Chains A and B, each alone.
Chain A
Amino acid sequence: MSVTSPAETAARTPFLKPLIWALILFLCVTPFLLIFAVSFGHKIEGASWEWGFSFANYQRVFVGASWPDEITFLYLQKLYYSLYYAVIASVLAVLTAFPFTYLMTGLSRRAQSAWLVFILASLSLSEVFIVMGWDVLLSNRSGLPMVFKETGLTAWLKEVGWFDTLREWGLANPRNVKFKTSVFATVLTMAYLVWPYAVILLYPPLSRLDRSMVEAAQTMGAGPGTVMRTVILPSVRLPLAGAILLLFVFLLGVYVAVTVFAEPAKQTMAVSVYEAVRGNTLNAPFGAAQAVVLLITAGIFLVLGQWLSRRGTS
């Protein structure tokens, strides 16, 4: 704590507060308003777009461009996959980071800070880099499929007939197993991407957890499962839900992992937004409309999550 209180500082610099507000408005609200305004624009077929005021782009998001002659839920399908990957990957990341972080907080101070530095350092890896790494790991000649082939696992799978099942699931071609493109690879990479964040988000509540409560429960005869269920989990329920929500929102916008690991039928709205704005059609208004719908959906989920966790505490 500093010696001067915030009120005193504000009294001495009367312009500071409005200045900060102006900055926040400019940095956060302007881009959003711009996107919002663009989303009502009009696409000129074969060229670019112009400013306008029509709801055609929003209509297209829900029923497609040829409505009412024809109806398609193509873009809602993309929205569904945005939510699908984000929910699964964020839950997966938090569920796996939780035991790790719990065990980590039981280590010595020195070991804890070593782990934290390592995890913070891994955040410097960009999405592109991580996707590249997993791409290599899952590739036919350099990754997991090669291991399958060399260890004889592929031959064994073919022998017992499970290989055909894998082919039906799209996880094999006639020669070997394949993990790209698949939901498995997409979710795995996305969970990996946010895993360090999950640890960092869970670390403060778990390190504040009073270990004597755990010991007390144990001396009273509670097994590890019971301790986890009745002591640890209830006390960190809110941070857990908060971490999942934050990672969920973060994952809604993932682009590289989805373009590389998901087949076109299972790609997300973020990819569709990018294609509309920067792709061959130069349809920024349609991209903006999709972005607004995605944003509103994320907002609804956040409010819902907040409401659920508040209801859980009361």
Chain B
Amino acid sequence: MWKNRAGEIAMNSPNPTFTPVGQDALDWLGTDPVPAKPYYDPEWFELEREAVFRRSWQQIGHVCELPENGSFIRRDLEVLGASLLITRGQDGEIRAFHNVCTHRGTILVDEDEGKRNTFSCPYHMWTFGLDGDLISAPDFESFHVSKAECALPAVACEVVGGLIFVHLGKPEGTLREWLGPYATKLEMMPVARATTFSEYVYEIDANWKLTYDNFQENYHLRFIHPSAAGPVTSPDNPFAYPTAYDFHGPHRSQRIWTKPDMDPPTGVQAIAFQRGAVQAMADGILGTETAKDYLGLFPNFFLFGSPMQHFSHTVYPIAAGKSRGVIRLYWIGEDETPSERFAREYFMATARDVHTEDRAVIERGHKGLASGALKHIHFQTQESLCRHLFNMVAEKVEAYRSEKEGAAA
């Protein structure tokens, strides 16, 4: 069916307009085969915990989850064995703490989210404020420590574009410095104004890099997503490759190509697009400069600027061969009209359909790699974002390994 469609379009489009990004512009990333082992090896994964995740800002939530002073969320970061408590204080400030009572280490808060002024540990009723200070503890006079020394351990926490990031190590600079020019892009995107979101979550038996890589190359689209990719490919760009790549430090992005003569949608899909477009127009997010930007923020976060399906995707590592994906479609305002509600549910279900197809093939990929059959895997020019992720991870793991060896010597 895809061939018929393409053939038909080929006759109508005698002048191809698409030019892929050339290898020359990407030579700096190298062209060698990439070692397979880092994609499944538990020993390598142990190094990544410290070298990558302890040393990076990680996206963990959105300000709309903390709508009022006193709002809190709990987030577990398995890769660092951490449970985090993120609060909005009476001063409106968003702060993050280890969700651990400073008395004897009990996990303080059990609920996923809520609103409170204090948090009491169930074990001995040590009670903390939204700012992490220890407010009271029964028979505290019998301890040999001051209350000031018993505040919840703070975790570096900063917000850009409405997105909350935490750093569980010692940040070398601010989040804004870490993001560089991508900070401005985040602030221009609808996520910066979002007040709610749709979310779906998947668990996957696959390494986080292998999982993440799937979402930063378009080479697979026409094969894995025949229904969704058919309408967006054309004879001059049969794989729907992006029009540009961009790199900043460990981060990277692509600019999505849009087929100029795409057939209009039909049926229920057409109605969903019409109704959704009315709202996107009202929100002023149609045709923005960042609408085609697809950002990959190191180590494990994506954000697509599309106004109609403005989604983020975080791949949380759990073990060398296990990850969790969290996908959110961010929206501005609650459902104002039944039409808007319909469009949002439809767009969420559409994205979920596509990600379903990805999840299935990624698990298959991990199973093959984890068999140890391959020494190397291969990335082509248009899989350069995958290569860049590997290079960044390898650089950080090697640096960490040298430090450790240096310290041991």
A binds B: no
Binding site for A on B (CB under 8 A): none
Binding site for B on A (CB under 8 A): none
